[in-house]
Amino acid sequence: MSPASTASRVPVEERLFSLVLALLATDAGLTKAEILSTVQGYRQRYSRSGDNSNLERQFERDKDDIRELGVPLETIESPGESGNNQNLRYRIPRGDYELPADIAFSPEETTLLNLAAMVWREGSLSAESRRALLKLRSLGVTSDDPIVGYAPRLRVRDAAFEPLSAALEKHVIVRFGYLKPGEHDARTRTVAPIALIQHRGRWMLHAADQDAKGTRNFLLRRIVTPVTTTNTRYEPFPPEAMTAAIAELEQIWRDRTALVEVVPGSDAATRLDKRRGTETAPDGALTLHFSDLDLFADELAGYGPEVLVVSPPELRDAVRSRLTRVAVDHG
């Protein structure tokens, strides 16, 4: 079995999880070559003497994804080699990733967390990931703490992922109920899947809508019914179709910006400042890029009083409505 076929079966969540584990395990940081040659999901495709450009691009996308999830990934230049990207070192500082010192748990809560940690240690780390950690230790990467205790905030795949992936392989049309923000009833969509795309940590389906007679992007988390596979086949789309879809999503992300004020030193300030493309004004306000207004409003509302949206007005209103609904629901 070829290394490429083995790598194709490594779920993206496991690859990102393995990357986070590796970068938490080192204080000095790891070079790109050390990461690609040892971390689960990369090493299967790594060539010590060949071209690794595709793998390097995958690593760049993964860096963006884990930063988008709020993981504080740092880049360190090697002394005397400023500007040499091949010798840059990457790490995740534990002080920025661990829980704040002022958070404490009761004895009962600690017991439950310890039980959960036991299950995590026994069941979450695959044999491949364990072998990758051994290889990292052989490079001199050591850790006094059990790094499997650091569980990254990675989203699992949505229920629609597997049936859509199967439909893509068979080139068959599918149907599903899709609930757009602001609507109360799901609409049935009949589509020819073109590609499953992970963009900014979220899975999307790029497909040809059979009713709208055009291509559309569907967020998997908004598919609210089981995916139904039809017996109707379609001609495979060229690879350029997926490339165009990714370029379109990137353009949307670049064009949409928000200005927010954050409480200095808060969780919101730490996480939002790590997002790709964030610009910090002298007064501490952040200019942030986003793709989906409703999803971004959900995220910002989760920070509560730590965030104040200045613009655009529609995002400010969306966050306010979410906070108002929470206040009403909780009396």
DSSP 186-242: -EEEEEEEEEEEEETTEEEEEEEETTTTEEEEEEGGGB-SPPEEEEEE-PPPPHHHH
pLDDT in the model for residue 145: 45
Bridge partners, residue 268, by sequence: none
In a domain, 199, yes or no: yes
Beta-carbon count within 10 A of 112 CB: 12
Instruction: Tell me: do 82 and 208 sit in the same domain.
Output: no
Mean pLDDT estimate for the chain:
80
Instruction: Tell me: do 201 and 66 sit in the same domain.
Output: no
* Percentages of the chain per state (helix, strand, coil), in multiples of 5: 45, 20, 35
Instruction: Tell me: do 315 and 282 sit in the same domain.
Output: yes
pLDDT in the model for residue 2: 43
* Residue, of 169 and 80, whose pLDDT is higher: 169
Stretch among 149-158, 162-171, 178-187, 214-223 having the lowest mean pLDDT: 149-158
In a domain, 242, yes or no: yes
Of the ranges 152-156, 270-274, 288-292, which is most confident? 288-292
Residues 229 and 174: beta-carbon distance below 8 Å = yes
Q: What is the pTM of this model?
A: 0.55
Structure tokens at 289: 């890029």
Model pLDDT for residues 222-276, shown as the tens digit of each residue: 999 999 999 999 999 988 888 888 888 889 999 999 999 999 989 899 889 888 8
Contacts of 248 (CB under 8 A, 6+ apart): 217
Structure tokens at 136: 């990292």
Instruction: Tell me: do 144 and 7 sit in the same domain.
Output: yes
Q: What is the CATH number of the domain that holds 287?
A: 3.30.70
Question: Judging by DSSP bridges, how do beta strands 187-199 and 89-91 pair with one another?
Answer: unpaired
In a domain, 18, yes or no: yes
Stretch among 45-54, 97-106, 125-134 having the lowest mean pLDDT: 125-134
Handedness of CA 273, 278, 281, 286 (dihedral sign): negative
Domains contained in the chain, number: 3
pLDDT in the model for residue 82: 59
Instruction: Tell me: do 213 and 126 sit in the same domain.
Output: no
pLDDT in the model for residue 308: 97
Q: Which of 318, 203, 305 is nearest to 258 (CA)?
A: 318
CA angle 284, 278, 262 (to 5 degrees): 35
Instruction: Tell me: do 133 and 25 sit in the same domain.
Output: yes
**Which amino acid appears at position 266 of this protein?**
S
Instruction: Tell me: do 190 and 277 sit in the same domain.
Output: no
pLDDT in the model for residue 68: 75
Contacts of 98 (CB under 8 A, 6+ apart): 150
Residues 234 and 228: beta-carbon distance below 8 Å = no
Model pLDDT for residues 23-71, shown as the tens digit of each residue: 888 878 888 989 999 888 898 888 888 888 888 888 988 888 888 777 8
Instruction: Tell me: do 167 and 231 sit in the same domain.
Output: yes
In a domain, 311, yes or no: yes
Instruction: Tell me: do 186 and 304 sit in the same domain.
Output: no
Instruction: Tell me: do 214 and 286 sit in the same domain.
Output: no
Percent of the chain clearing pLDDT 70 (strictly above): 75
Query: Of 227, 250, 273, which residue is a domain's last?
Result: 250
| Residue that is written with structure tokens 């940081």 in the block | 29
Q: Give CA separation, 213 vs 29, 174, 191, 229, in Å.
A: 50, 15, 10, 19
Range of the domain at 270: 256-329
Query: Of 106, 128, 149, which residue is a domain's last?
Result: 149
Q: Which whole number is the average pLDDT over 155-163?
A: 75
Q: What is the CATH number of the domain that holds 214?
A: 2.30.30
Instruction: Tell me: do 123 and 176 sit in the same domain.
Output: no
